[in-house]
Homo-oligomer: A and B are copies of this chain.
Amino acid sequence: MDVRERILEAAAALYSTVGFRGTTTRRIAADAGVNEVTLFRHFGSKEALIREVISRGWSRFCFEALPEQPGDPATEIAEWALRYYGLHAECAAFIRTRLGEFQEHPEILPTTEPPPPARIAALLAAYLERLQQEGRMRPDIRPARAAAMLIGALFADAITRVGVVQMYGTSPDEDVRQYVQIFLRGIGVTS
């Protein structure tokens, strides 16, 4: 593999577990099997390196929208939620450290505005809005709020599951499906 790639990968793994301060240039170099100097020759500084690591981390969260024309909400939302959950569970360590450091290093931000989480929520909210316009969802519920709720539940589960196992069931898959089920009944969508 390319040297530059090896460095980025090692740095990403380190960052996810020990954060910015814990990710020392010496450890990155050692983990990547590369001389420490090489790292500076490629990226200039540690901060620039980590900035690229984080930017790459964020870029994984590009998410496809839900169907433009809602068909069967139960399966469409369930599948979307499972994808959302899987992606976030996979990157849970990265998200946790990023969440803990975003106020300390606000200068390292995704170039996109609004940030990925808000954009993903907006996708679901737009879908719900269409559902509502077609009269298939209770009119007294704000789509954005409902979306925030379901996404919040998925997000919290994906991110805390490894740490607080006792709170959850044994099968993330079944849990997610139940969340969606409760959610759909809650917003008055009958399938």
Contact = CB atoms under 8 A, between A and B. Distances in A.
Interface in A148-176: 148-157, 159-160, 162-164, 166-169, 175
Chain A interface mostly helix, strand, loop or mixed?
helix
A80 interface: no
Q: Tell me the number of copies of this protein.
A: 2
A168 B148 contact: yes
Given A22-B21, A164-B118, A187-B182, A99 B100 contact: yes
Nearest to A157: B152
Contacts of A141: 178, 181-182
A42 interface: no
Most buried by B among A98, A149, A150: A149
A103 interface: yes
Given A100-B100, A152-B153, 5 more contacts: A100-B101, A142-B169, A149-B153, A149-B179, A185-B186
